[in-house]
Amino acid sequence: MMNNKIMIKNAAELVTCSGFKAKHGKEMSELHIIEDGAVVVEDGIIKAVGKTEDILKKYDEKDFQAIDASNKAVLPGFVDSHTHFVFGGYRAEEFSWRLRGDSYMDIMQRGGGIVNTVKATREASFEELMETGLKRLDSMLSFGVTTVEGKSGYGLDLETEIKQLKVMDELNKIHPLDIVKTFMGAHATPVEYKGRTDDYVEFMIEKVMPEIAKQNLAEFSDVFCEKNVFSIEQTRRIQEKAKELGFKIKLHADEIVQFGGAELAAELGAVSADHLLQVSDKGIEDMAKSGVVATLLPCTAFSLRESFAPGRKMIDNGCAVALASDFNPGSCFTENISLVIALATLQMNIRIEEAITAITINAAAALDRADEIGSLDPGKKGDILILEFPSYKFIPYHIGVSTVEKVIKNGKIVFDKNLGGKIC
């Protein structure tokens, strides 16, 4: 047996999600399932996928660490393409205010919300952020996440933005999950710039973004484009500069009010536009045409008690929809991908097959990685989930509970529920 060679065989359903780019509209229902399937991984890369009997004709299982997946479904590792998982402090008190009827924006406008977490993140040491970050990654892994995006945006000054991004770099080195980094200096206006948002935008453009680019600390640039946060014009300025500096673009768009965020994302050639609770019909059309991945975050709508994004309408109009957790200390404090999928299917009228596409290949596309992760295709990373159940349909059916038994990352078993969780 060789450790760098794994064969998973006899899978009741091998859900390949096969493809190398985002799936739009109707294509999202096609999961390309192989019954009694097998997959072979060598040196971290998928070498072959097919029926178990065909794979066994080509490969001798004695050369492999063979895993019997009888009665189990096998899927690509989940990709959580929108999180804010590195932060100091918590905002449980604000959560209780929201239950009393205060809105997210009321709390933000009277000086709470994101800037509260900024204070705690500025005060937190590198080690404290590492420690909490590590625990959060472990939890994500238990839900089957093998790649996660993480945003800065709780520093809002050069030093702390860099600290957040460097914490992600260190975590990436020591944790099996792959971390994709996004700079989000335009998440809120910090207290020292209160009432001077244009000056803050100037500071971002002139000082902070060039330094982040110079130190190569982030791949994406994101902006909270929202009424009373960053205007369309301010967002366009920041993101035009970001493009000049070589960042790929994401937007928090049309979350609280209809604002033209989706349209702007299409104009900018963004990789994704996220939230979209209030997206316009024109915004949907623009995203479908320009290929912006519409990333929906149902746990945030649930937690904010807002109406859900019109996911069904987006798919019916040809958009590529992705799903993500939006894990953060304010609007959505959960890393639970099972709940994301349950809400998408039960509350947004998204079919289970579409939801699986949305959390795998389309989520990979939302990170510009559809060529390397998000499906079980030869040549892609060996990021694979084995469920405790025989079908992907158990994922939303077992509401809010992880159905993941084993996680294989880069061809190595890194999580096994039967062995107590993370095993590396």
Using CB under 5 A, list all residues that contact Fe ion. Answer: 326
Q: Please report whether residue 353 would count as binding ligand NIG according to CB under 6 A.
A: no
Q: Is 98 in the site for ligand NIG (CB under 6 A)?
A: no
Site for ligand NIG in 112-131 (CB under 6 A): 113-114, 117
Comparing CB distances to ligand NIG, the nearer of 314 and 324 is 324
Among positions 15-74, residues that touch ligand NIG (CB under 6 A) are none
Could you tell me the smallest distance in angstroms from the CB atom of residue 185 to ligand NIG? Answer: 13
Work out whether 335 is an interface residue with ligand NIG (CB under 6 A). no
Compute the least distance from the CB of residue 141 to Fe ion, in Å: 21
By CB under 6 A, tell whether 300 contacts ligand NIG.
yes
Q: Locate tokens 């040491």: which residue?
A: 125
Instruction: Based on the shown chain and the rule CB under 6 A, indicate whether residue 224 belongs to the binding site for ligand NIG.
Output: yes
Task: List the one residue from 139, 182, 189, 328 that touches ligand NIG (CB under 6 A).
Answer: 328
Kindly state the DSSP code that residue 392 receives in the 8-state scheme.
T
Binding residues for ligand NIG, total number by CB under 6 A:
14
224, interface contact from ligand NIG, Fe ion, none, CB < 5-8 Å by kind:
ligand NIG
Comparing CB distances to ligand NIG, the nearer of 87 and 143 is 87
Cα(271)–Cα(191) distance, rounded to whole angstroms? 31
Only one of the segments 8-16, 169-177, 322-330, 404-412 lies at the binding site for ligand NIG (rule: CB under 6 A); that segment is 322-330
259 binds ligand NIG (CB under 6 A): no
**Which residue has the closest beta carbon to ligand NIG?**
330
Contacts of residues 155-158 at CB distance under 8 Å and 24 or more positions apart, as own/partner, are 155/118, 155/121, 155/122, 155/185, 156/115, 156/118, 156/185, 156/187, 156/188, 156/189, 156/190, 156/200, 157/122, 157/190, 157/208, 158/207, 158/208, 158/211
Smallest distance, ligand NIG to C-beta of residue 225, A: 10
The verdict on 152 binding ligand NIG (CB under 6 A) reads no
Tokens of 407: 């996680």
Please name the residue that has the structure tokens 């000056």: 199
Binding-site member from 185, 330, 382, 411 for ligand NIG (CB under 6 A): 330
> Which C-beta is closer to ligand NIG: that of 363 or that of 385?
363
Of 326, 323, 325, 328, give the one whose Cα is nearest residue 345: 323
How much helix, strand and coil, in percent to the nearest 5, is found in the chain?
Answer: 40, 25, 35
DSSP for 65-124, please give it: EEEE-TT-EEEEPEEE-------SS--HHHHHHHHHT--HHHHHHTT-THHHHHHHHHHS
Which listed range, 140-148, 196-204, 329-337, 393-401, lies at the site for ligand NIG (CB under 6 A)? 329-337
Q: Answer yes or no: are the C-beta atoms of 104 and 414 closer than 8 Å.
A: no
Name the residue nearer to ligand NIG (CB basis): 329 or 396. Answer: 329
359: part of which helix (H) or strand (E)?
Answer: helix 352-359
The helix or strand, by DSSP H or E, that contains position 406, with its residue range, turns out to be strand 404-409
Would you say 334 or 410 has its CB closer to Fe ion? 334
Instruction: Characterise 53 by phi-psi region: left (phi > 0), alpha (psi -120 to 50), beta (else).
Output: alpha
Task: Report the distance separating Cα 114 and Cα 108, nearest Å.
Answer: 7
| Strand (E) or helix (H) holding 3 | strand 2-15
329 binds ligand NIG (CB under 6 A): yes
**Rule CB under 6 A: which residues touch ligand NIG?**
84, 113-114, 117, 224, 252, 255, 300, 326, 328-332
